[in-house]
Amino acid sequence: MSLSREQLMRYHDGELSEAEAHAVEAALEDEPELAGELEAYGELGSFVRAWDQSNSAKLATFDVSASVMAALEPPRARVHALLPRIATWVSLGAAIAAGSVLVVRSWSAPPVAPGGPRAGEHAELSIASAVPELSAVLPGQEAKPSPATIESVDFGSNAGTVFVVSTDSSETPVVWMPDDAEPDEGDEDRSESL
């Protein structure tokens, strides 16, 4: 007669009826190896009982919430580890965004109105180039409108200078050409020249 493992375990645990127990005992006599297996079940039961006794105190004080929180600790640690990286990325993104804003605003800003040359009230300039107005406006001082710009001058064979006359309210480019060369036909008097 062959015994199932379940029957043997139930026999070990004393859960079989009397008839079934007799049958198992008969089988154990016929097959000595089953006795060894039954002995192993006994050792396993002893081990379980011993483990149960040694851990009963721990089981009694087992805190589920603490275990859950402990289980959550690793992801939290990961989040903490990611924060510096996120901050770096956010900073980088903010820098890129700020750069984009500056570029867009520089594209959309109106061009700087060119101002005339300014080198004192009577500074001589060979040509007035488009120099942006750089003079600072002090608090309470009225901002001067940007002057017209002399872009190019051809004096021909004559001498001339270009300068800017600056007043409190305006700056005006001046092309100064004193003509002390030969008189024109029809001009009555050109005896005086600056």
Partner 1 sequence: MKRVSLALCTLVAVLTLPAYAAKDKPSPSAAPAPSVAPAPSAQPKVEHPLATEVLILHATNEQKGIDPRIGKLPELGKPPFSNYDSYQVLERARLPLKADDPQNLKLPNGRTLQVRLLDESGPNSVRLSASINRPNGKEFLPLLEVKAQVGQAFIVAGQSHKKGILVLVIRVVK
DSSP state of 182: S
**Could you tell me the two tokens for 113?**
């109105």
The 25-54 contact track toward partner 1, x by CB under 8 A, reads: ------------------------------
What's the one-letter identity of residue 174? Answer: V
Query: How far is 138 from 144, CA to CA, in rounded Å?
Result: 11
- What ranges make up the beta strands (E) of 15-137? 114-115, 131-132
- Longest C-alpha distance within the chain, in Å? 157
The 152-171 contact track toward partner 1, x by CB under 8 A, reads: xxxxx-x-x----xxxxxx-
Cβ contact 12:25 at 8 Å: no
Question: Least distance (Å) from partner 1 to the CB of residue 74?
Answer: 18
- As a dihedral over the C-alpha atoms of residue 130, residue 131, residue 132, residue 134, rounded to 10 degrees, the angle is -160
149 lines the binding site for partner 1 (CB under 8 A):
yes
The 104-123 contact track toward partner 1, x by CB under 8 A, reads: xx-xxxxx-xx------xx-
Task: Kindly tell me which of 70 and 113 has the beta carbon lying closer to partner 1.
Answer: 113
Rounded to 5 degrees, what are φ and ψ at 180?
A: -110, 25
Three-state SS sequence of 10-43: HHHHCCCCHHHHHHHHHHHHHCHHHHHHHHHHHH
179 lines the binding site for partner 1 (CB under 8 A):
yes
Choose the stretch contacting partner 1; rule: CB under 8 A; options: 24-32, 38-46, 70-78, 99-107: 99-107
Choose the stretch contacting partner 1; rule: CB under 8 A; options: 10-18, 65-73, 134-142, 177-185: 177-185
3-state class (DSSP) for residue 171: strand
Q: Which residue in the set 50, 70, 119, 177 belongs to the binding site for partner 1 (CB under 8 A)? A: 177
- Residue bearing tokens 């004559």: 158
Question: Least distance (Å) from partner 1 to the CB of residue 186?
Answer: 4
193 lines the binding site for partner 1 (CB under 8 A):
yes
5 lines the binding site for partner 1 (CB under 8 A):
no
Which residues make up the interface to partner 1 (CB under 8 A)? 85-86, 89-90, 92-94, 96-98, 100-101, 104-105, 107-111, 113-114, 121-122, 130, 145-156, 158, 160, 165-170, 172-180, 184-194
